[in-house]
Amino acid sequence: MESGRVFGVGPGVFIVAFIWSFAVFIFLAISRTKTIGATTGGLATIFVLAVVTIILFVIPREQLDTSENDEFEIFDKLFYWRVALVVFMGISFIGGLTCVFVTVWMEPVFAKPLKQSKQWTISMSGQ
């Protein structure tokens, strides 16, 4: 039985997926700006992550133990329903966070006009 594995893949796949999703989020957030430097910063983020991903794929992995000494196998009949529920909840969380981001954090804030007050002048002539 393989310990520490989900869907037959190790934690590295999930780490790379998280890092890629974070980089895409940073790229989209930076691409909204009008300056050229910020746009190249977003592209640099994607480029650096591509290099890191290539390096991680090149690093050798340990060999899997393929010996079959298991006498029995435990089967969970509700596993697929739990996975479907987790995926649905994750998509709902991302959708809700997007709605909050669009409606609350992206709301324009307009400047209020300042009140006009009488201007007092100080005379240094002594009169």
What is the average per-residue pLDDT within 55-60?
Answer: 76
Full-model pTM:
0.40
Residue 42 near residue 31 (C-beta atoms within 8 A) = yes
Q: Can you give the pLDDT at residue 24?
A: 82
The pLDDT tens digits of the residues spanning 15-35 come to 888 888 888 887 777 777 777
Please provide the DSSP assignment of 30-98 as one string. Answer: HHTSS-HHHHHHHHHHHHHHHHHHHHHHHS--PPP------S-----TTHHHHHHHHHHHHHHHHHHHH
Mean predicted confidence (pLDDT) in 62-91 = 77
Q: Which residues of 67-78 are buried (b: 16+ CB within 10 A; e: fewer)?
A: eeeeeeeeeeee
Task: Name the band, by pLDDT with cuts 50, 70 and 90, for residue 126.
Answer: low
